[in-house]
Structure 1
Amino acid sequence: MRARLTLLVAATTVLVLLAFLVPIALLLRQVAENQALSRADDVIRTIVPLAGGDEATLRLVVTAQEVPVTVFLPNGAVIGAPAAPTPAVRLAAARGRALTVATAAGRELVVPVVGASGRSVVRTVVTSAELTRGVSRSWLTLAALGIALLLLGLLVADRLARTITAPITQLSDVSHRLAGAELTARAQPSGPPELREVAGALNHLATRIQDLLAAERERVADLSHRLRTPLTALRLEAESLRDPDESTRIAAAADGVARAVTAVIQQTRRASAASASATPPVCDATAVVTDRVAFWRVLAEDTGRPVTQSLPDTPVPVAVAADDLAAALDALLGNVFAHTPDETPFTVTLTPRPSGGALLTVADEGPGFPPAASRRGTSGANSTGLGLDIARQIATSTTTGGGPDGAVVTLEIPGP
């Protein structure tokens, strides 16, 4: 925008300068011609009264002039600058009329004078150099003035464009900072009224986002307090079971739910700026997947589901928090248990990538995905429909496949 505004002002200034300076330049040339012709006319007027009188006096006056003057006498004699009679001289002598004729050398002025012995003709020539004396210098002055005015106009245009573009650049910078989770960024209202209004609207939007996030954190915190009481009661009920294995399993499940809720609270309350500038988390995908498969294997045995796991023997570092990876795998395995009948086999595969990261694949032999499974918040089984979306949040890309004979979900997890 700054360059376009400067170019617009430059074009406008050039047009205005041409509209004024070109006529002035032509007028200066005309004035110079008129002055040269006027000086020559004054010289001729000085000589005309003497043309019919004494030749000695006439010769003295003619030779004293700075402008070359020639007087053609009726007897054929020539006084002054040597010159042959031109057609203009002969025409003036014949008709008795003063003439101004344009020639290759400049302008020729001839004036007939009637005396006692006949008709004399006074002639002088104004050269082209005399006609244009001072014109070049005047044109150079006008050109310098035009260039100075153009540069001044460009300077003013640049300053004006900067006052307009600087607030726009600031607004863009603030919007990028807000997009980078720096919610404390604010725009300084400046520039034209329209830009100040946009800056105020952007600041209001940022404040509104902060308020909504604060309210969301409070709601999550309230949810945590609401869940702790039933979780505590569930754990007490589990401890009162007579079967130690059942008691341990249910207590572990209750502890897992409590840990998940706590992780959600901590992640939600994390400061936006700190999370934006913090070092990306790293975990061992092999250890996390091994732990979660072991957790779900117990439930799989209760429902008669064969479990197959293919995990590497070495650690696989990924740029994902352990809790997030566990939550994603739990969401995928939870979908297997929720949307497939008992005794349906499933497989969990973790494959390291040569460029870093890993591929996590969960496959089952159930009925496959419903048509709406790819849309967030939509499910064909009366659930929230967020299972796949939770898994997608930790992956750079997600691939879903399969058909009526099963479903396959592959997460591409980035490396550190």
Structure 2
Amino acid sequence: MPKPEPVRRRLVVLTVATAAIAVALFGIPLAVGLVQYTLEEQESVLQRTASITARSVQGELARGDSPTVLPDLPADVVLGVYDGDGDLLLGDGPDPSSDEVDRALDGRGSHATVDGNLVVTVPVDGRHEPDGAVRAAMPVSAVYAGLVPVWLGMAGLAGAVLVTVWLSARRQARRLATPLEDLAGAARRLGDGDFSVRTGRAGVAEIDQVGGALDSTAERLDALLARERAFSQDASHQLRTPLTGLRLRLEAALDRPDADLRAALVAGIAEADRLERTIDELLQLARERTGRGDPTDVGALVRELGPARAERLAAAGRGLVLDVAPQLPPAAASAAAIRQVLGVLLDNAEVHGAGTVRIVVRESGEALAVDVTDEGAGPGPDPFAAPPERRSAGGGVHGIGLPLARRLAEAEGGRLVLGRSAPPVFTLFVPAAWPEEGASTPAGPAAPEPAAPEPTAPEPAADGAAGHEPAARPPERAGPDGVRDALGTRR
């Protein structure tokens, strides 16, 4: 396969070839026209010279005398004077007379090209018939010789035009090809994993559009890589709980060799299924979403999570209370995201909390709120920013998975806030999916506040970025701004 020709050379060759064709189309007809014009001009010079000579010798020929002096002649002009019999009297010319001279003696002047010469003859008028004739001639080669400087000038001008076009074509080709070469280099760097690559602007709309598209692709890939890295860090904390549970169940079965292993294996398979579903959902949520899925029935999802959680809490002597308000609209968020966020909150309540765990699902303006509370000491002032190594006063690690849960909530257009520090109240806000955009759904009965040991005044939110939400319920307002009051402005 032949090597493709560079675009620079193609542009230069095409431009110069076009200019050369244009110069030829104008220059060749101009050169031919110049030759014709010069020949006619020289014929006119010969005609004037012959006429002047005929008038100057008219008197002498009328008296029968031979002329002795010829007028001054232009360069390369040959002049001959003939009598009425066609004999050459003075100057140069064919002797005996030629056909052109005979026609002049008959009273008819003529001009023609004879033997490579321009020949003009005029009669010398007499009393009744011409007394003689004058013949003027010039070599055609002399005419062409006079045109050589003109032709050289035209050729030089044409060469100057082509050189100018060549230089301009090189400059324009460089202006067009350099951005394309830069784009190719940027694309190679992007393919090698350099997502920080950015292209400059060439001032050419089409090339700038390609560069802008490449920059957008690099930004999206960079953001996707950052999300994948954040996922790989946070998912390890999120997956630690089901892995620990599975390990504990299997170790407990090994410690009791005489016990029935079927129950342990069934429980282990259930934990493995839960772990597999968690991995699949996290991988799905870690990738960029192109649009919202189907609305999610949050009440049904909470009821689905209830039995398994209640069994695990009951094993530790604790209880689980579900309080789902009636006639709730669906949530405009992914079921997988809501399930993962609630899983993080319930895991923290189970591992680090105390007493009864309570889940309240209620309507808050144009959003849905899910409160998760327990009777423990709380995670501290800022659990979302705390590193995994930060330990609570009770010795447990609080905040496992909470940064990931907050990012999942914000990716769905919601928010996760700590409404109260002790006893802890975590509230997940998600936008409600109304039947029509802008339509409002009549508010159902107000859900009760999450359980607390005593009716103390709610504390301000510890999360400064959350805008200091009230304890568990943000201000409810009807109208288009209600959802913004509930969810805030961060996405």
2:228 maps to 1:216: yes
How far apart are 1:39 and its partner, in Å?
2.4
Are the equivalent residues in 2 in contact too, given 1:163–1:191 (CA < 8 A)?
no
Q: Which has the higher helix share?
A: 1
Q: Paired residue for 1:105?
A: 116
How far apart are 1:29 and its partner, in Å?
1.4
2:31 maps to 1:58: no
Q: Paired residue for 1:136?
A: 148
- Once residues 157 and 191 of structure 1 are traced to their aligned partners in structure 2, the CA distance between those partners, rounded to angstroms, is 17
Output one character per residue of 1:121-177: Cα deviation in whole Å (capped at 9) or x when no partner: 101111112322321221122112112211211211121122111111111111111
How far apart are 1:8 and its partner, in Å?
2.0
- Once residues 226 and 72 of structure 2 are traced to their aligned partners in structure 1, the CA distance between those partners, rounded to angstroms, is 106
Q: Paired residue for 2:420?
A: none
- Once residues 74 and 220 of structure 2 are traced to their aligned partners in structure 1, the CA distance between those partners, rounded to angstroms, is 93
Q: Paired residue for 1:385?
A: none
**Local SS of the residue matching 1:58:** coil
2:134 maps to 1:122: yes
1:206 is matched with which residue: 193, 215, 218? 218
- Once residues 64 and 34 of structure 1 are traced to their aligned partners in structure 2, the CA distance between those partners, rounded to angstroms, is 18
Map 1:143-158 → 2, pairs under 5 A: 143-158=155-170
Count residues with an aligned counterpart.
254
TM-score by length of 2: 0.46
How far apart are 1:78 and its partner, in Å?
1.6
Greater displacement, 152-161 / 58-67:
58-67
2:42 maps to 1:31: no
- Once residues 80 and 4 of structure 1 are traced to their aligned partners in structure 2, the CA distance between those partners, rounded to angstroms, is 64
1:160 is matched with which residue: 172, 182, 187? 172
- Once residues 133 and 232 of structure 2 are traced to their aligned partners in structure 1, the CA distance between those partners, rounded to angstroms, is 116
Are the equivalent residues in 2 in contact too, given 1:177–1:185 (CA < 8 A)?
yes
How far apart are 1:118 and its partner, in Å?
5.1
Are the equivalent residues in 2 in contact too, given 1:48–1:122 (CA < 8 A)?
yes
Output one character per residue of 1:322-361: Cα deviation in whole Å (capped at 9) or x when no partner: xxxxxxxxxxxxxxxxxxxxxxxxxxxxxxxxxxxxxxxx
Map 1:7-406 → 2, pairs under 5 A: 7-54=13-60, 58-62=67-71, 67-74=77-84, 76=87, 78-81=89-92, 83-84=94-95, 85-94=97-106, 96-116=107-127, 119-234=131-246, 241-242=254-255
Output one character per residue of 1:155-209: Cα deviation in whole Å (capped at 9) or x when no partner: 1112112211111111111111111011111111224111111111111111111
The structure with more radius of gyration: 2
- Once residues 125 and 188 of structure 1 are traced to their aligned partners in structure 2, the CA distance between those partners, rounded to angstroms, is 72
Give ranges in structure 2 of 5+ residues lacking alignment.
Answer: 1-6, 258-271, 273-278, 284-491
Output one character per residue of 1:74-115: Cα deviation in whole Å (capped at 9) or x when no partner: 254522225310011112212x01100211131111111122
Greater displacement, 33-42 / 57-66:
57-66
Greater displacement, 177-186 / 216-225:
216-225
TM-score by length of 1: 0.54
- Once residues 150 and 220 of structure 1 are traced to their aligned partners in structure 2, the CA distance between those partners, rounded to angstroms, is 63
1:172 is matched by which residue type in structure 2? A
Are the equivalent residues in 2 in contact too, given 1:59–1:79 (CA < 8 A)?
yes
- Once residues 70 and 246 of structure 2 are traced to their aligned partners in structure 1, the CA distance between those partners, rounded to angstroms, is 135
- Once residues 213 and 192 of structure 2 are traced to their aligned partners in structure 1, the CA distance between those partners, rounded to angstroms, is 19
Are the equivalent residues in 2 in contact too, given 1:62–1:80 (CA < 8 A)?
no
- Once residues 118 and 226 of structure 1 are traced to their aligned partners in structure 2, the CA distance between those partners, rounded to angstroms, is 128
Identity rate of aligned residues, in percent?
Answer: 29
- Once residues 228 and 73 of structure 2 are traced to their aligned partners in structure 1, the CA distance between those partners, rounded to angstroms, is 107
- Once residues 148 and 207 of structure 1 are traced to their aligned partners in structure 2, the CA distance between those partners, rounded to angstroms, is 49
| 1:27–1:148 CA distance, 2 compared to 1 (3 A) | same
- Once residues 174 and 165 of structure 1 are traced to their aligned partners in structure 2, the CA distance between those partners, rounded to angstroms, is 14
Give the RMSD, CA atoms, in angstroms: 3.5
- Once residues 58 and 255 of structure 2 are traced to their aligned partners in structure 1, the CA distance between those partners, rounded to angstroms, is 155
